Structure 1
């Protein structure tokens, strides 16, 4: 058995390009993971839609144009899965890493193992879906909280999501308003964020994706009646504008109403030096260091007091926490260990777990002094 580089087929969803120009959390994670795996010396073939903005050795397209405008329709993902199956027939790889929902259905017929990251909740039908797949796929959770929702599944590991700290600005001095960033859905608790900000006497800026019918319905019923003085609706924000808003805000207010599997927005805020005020749901205790990088509360009634208490949080500690725990190099090392483990289990052993390759030295990734 050797430590030779692995040949990895990375299967992204068909909705947005890699990396996405705007919305697309899974695609952003796939892009960062692909680049970090290449930096570790692995041979990555990307199967996706649209342009290739990653360092993958090659990209094999299913759709020339990403299908984001059809998000929620079943056919684009099913078509993408069928096209991926044909592509994989001609690829010589050690492992397939699939980030789609439909793709794992075809894993049982493959000669190489399929690793699947479970990007969403696992209660109810989603968990039952993966139970039907059995040991044909090797699952990776994005938090221990998510994994605990369905401990009986065929888990191969838990690997937290990550981001590149150098892509986000750091700002020590904050403005007086609080920020909500997410989607227009009840489980993100945007209406509760408005109520908490008003109770604290703070202005709140709201930035959220609101494009699907259910999102519009939530906005009309819960958000529109709350708009007015001190509440600014920005709509969906992306790119540099989103990053600057995160860096300027007094805190990110994130009153979750569900068991959040991970919550990328929390590490995006912290890496900008902005503390997170949130509730103890899902992955929050794994992501936010209570009293160090934010304030975690058990009751929504305690959020106004927490908004006022964030002055005690050190912005440098927020950024350094992300650099130490949620960088792509750490994520890639975790997935490499999973790949080698499942390859060994399958009986095709191209290598044993290698020592973690040191990340390239980057000044913009250094902890804030």
Structure 2
């Protein structure tokens, strides 16, 4: 089965749950839930767990390290997260094996997996496995999901992501979200641009430096630079551009990034790849800070061009885009995130996906196959 359905975007106001479900939520093994600093997927998982519990569901969270969520139950696979092994295959595989053992003793309605290796063990489970795809599906990951076929049901985090592999077994699109109330709104901005993200060719902070400098603005760069590719990129592209107008902040924790987001006059997001979803964009806009970005991946879905930011096609257009973004109303940025990217809306979106999958299993078609109809829940 290769069903393609449209985004699951429940109408406002978000309605309460139709029934209580028991959901096994499987997080990656690399950071605490929620993370103290870097860890976008882990932050989304933490907020989703809390949002589902607030809607009356039972959630058993399976992850590494500590979990500070509202989960009904927490099962750790490792006493500490395996942050130093990020990118290596062994931690994912061992984590998946321990998750499988934990699931043997659980009576759940479904398994919601956010890992790479976990879906390999979905075949044969009585409960369906729903996988949120946090990465691009145009390469090896798409080949993996194609091979797994109907043993899993995929949820996209943007329409741009799904468009790269429309034949995969998608069951919906649910945008990532944040707890908007935890991000301070500030209308009066300071005279600096901000880049937050990995020091990586795909994120292209060197383009952010060039754009801010051409616009006559100092820039603050905050982000992770730990992996070999990040260190090599920094030395070749970032270090030669350093100067008195560039501040290297390092990794910003939850408190620090909120201060940076709220103070900056704009967030620069000059990505050079088809990023499925840039969480920093909604975090910045929640603080009233417009986003200046290149038109790649999910950017056009997240940023309202000319209202909550400026989206352009080439790096040469970024300096002028910065000047245009500074004239936008910060209140529009905040309102956009409150309406489109709240945790309540994300939780209701996933709930609609769960109901759709469970209903399709309960009512198979005449040919005995599971068919998911198009349209929103």
| Shorter-chain TM-score tier | over 0.9
Q: Tell me which residue corresponds to 1:273.
A: 288
1:50, 1:255 → 2: CA distance? 33
Q: Which of 209, 230, 236 is the matching residue for 1:194? A: 209
Superposed displacement of residue 52, structure 1:
1.9
The number of equivalent residue pairs is 348
Residue 210 of structure 1 corresponds to: 225
Q: Which residue of 2 aligns with 1:50?
A: 65
1:9 corresponds in structure 2 to 24
Q: How does 1:169-184 map to 2 (within 5 A)?
A: 169-184=184-199
Greater shift, 65-74 or 221-230, is seen at 65-74
Question: Are residue 133 (structure 1) and residue 152 (structure 2) matched?
Answer: no
- 1:86 aligns to 2:106 (yes or no): no
1:360 corresponds to which residue?
Answer: none
Q: CA separation in 1, counterparts of 2:161 and 2:93?
A: 25
Q: Which deviations, in whole Å up to 9, do the C-alpha atoms of 1:192-226 show, x marking residues without a partner?
A: 11111111111111111101011000001100110
Judged with a 3 Å threshold, the aligned counterparts in structure 2 of structure 1 residues 16 and 348 are, in CA distance, closer, same or farther, namely farther
Aligned-residue Cα RMSD (Å) equals 1.2
SS in 1 for 2:71: coil
1:206-285 alignment, distance < 5 Å: 206-285=221-300
**Could you state the TM-score of these two structures normalised by the residue count of structure 1?**
0.92
Q: Report the Cα offset of residue 245 of structure 1.
A: 0.6
Q: Distance in 2 between matches of 1:3 and 1:275?
A: 37
Mapped pair 1:343 → 2:364:
no
Q: CA deviation at 1:140?
A: 0.2
Q: Is the 8 A contact 2:290 2:326 kept in 1?
A: no
Partner of 2:372: none
Tell me the secondary structure at the aligned position of residue 312 of structure 1. Answer: coil
Q: Runs of 4 or more off by more than 3 Å in structure 1?
A: none
Counterpart contact for 1:272–1:319, Cα < 8 Å: yes
Distance 2:214 2:19 in 1: 58
Preserved CA contact (<8 Å) 1:112 1:346: no
What's the secondary structure of 2:122's corresponding residue? helix
**Displacement after TM superposition at 1:236 (Å):** 1.4
Q: Unaligned regions of 5+ residues in structure 2, if any?
A: 1-16, 365-377
Matches of 1:109 and 1:217 in 2, distance apart? 44
Q: Where does the alignment leave 5 or more consecutive residues of structure 1 unmatched?
A: 350-369
Change in CA separation of 1:3 and 1:180 when aligned onto 2, cut-off 3 Å: closer
* Structure-2 residue corresponding to 1:69: 84
User: Which residue, out of 331, 334, 338, partners 1:323?
Assistant: 338
| Cα drift, residue 346 of structure 1 | 2.4
Equivalents in 1 of 2:221, 2:18: separation in Å?
48
Distance (Å, rounded) in 1 between the aligned partners of 2:246 and 2:18: 56
3-state SS, counterpart of residue 96 of structure 1: strand
- CA deviation after TM superposition for structure 1 residue 348, in Å: 7.9
- State the Cα deviation string for residues 42-77 of structure 1 (Å, max 9, x = none): 011111111220101110111111111211221111
Counterpart Cα distance in 2 of 1:196 and 1:65: 40
